[in-house]
Amino acid sequence: MFEIAIDRDACDGIFACLARDGRFVEDDDGLATIDPDAAGVVRVKRTDERVVALLEGDAEADEDAALAARACPPGAISVREVDA
């Protein structure tokens, strides 16, 4: 399992992430979030500060998430392995 987190304070809605990982979508505040219905997404929690999505699979093997994180100009996206 792995986690994709978006720092909503840092996110500026440029949406470079959407072009690189189809699981990223725009939320109702004009910021990035993760589609809870996308393949492999177990759950998505959103607070004012953060979106945290739990996904099936390995962080290192998930190239799209890594591309999205690298493409994010303010570095708002983090990807890390978590225990099931």
Q: Which residues bind ligand SF4 (CB under 6 A)?
A: 6, 11-17, 32, 72, 74, 76-77
CB of 17 to ligand SF4, least distance (A): 3
Between residues 47 and 83, which has the closer beta carbon with respect to ligand SF4? 47
Do the Cβ atoms of 10 and 50 come closer than 8 Å? no
Between residues 1 and 27, which has the closer beta carbon with respect to ligand SF4? 27
Place of tokens 């759950």: 43
User: Residue 59: enclosing H or E segment and its boundaries?
Assistant: none
CB of 84 to ligand SF4, least distance (A): 26
Place of tokens 């570095």: 75
State the DSSP code for 57.
S
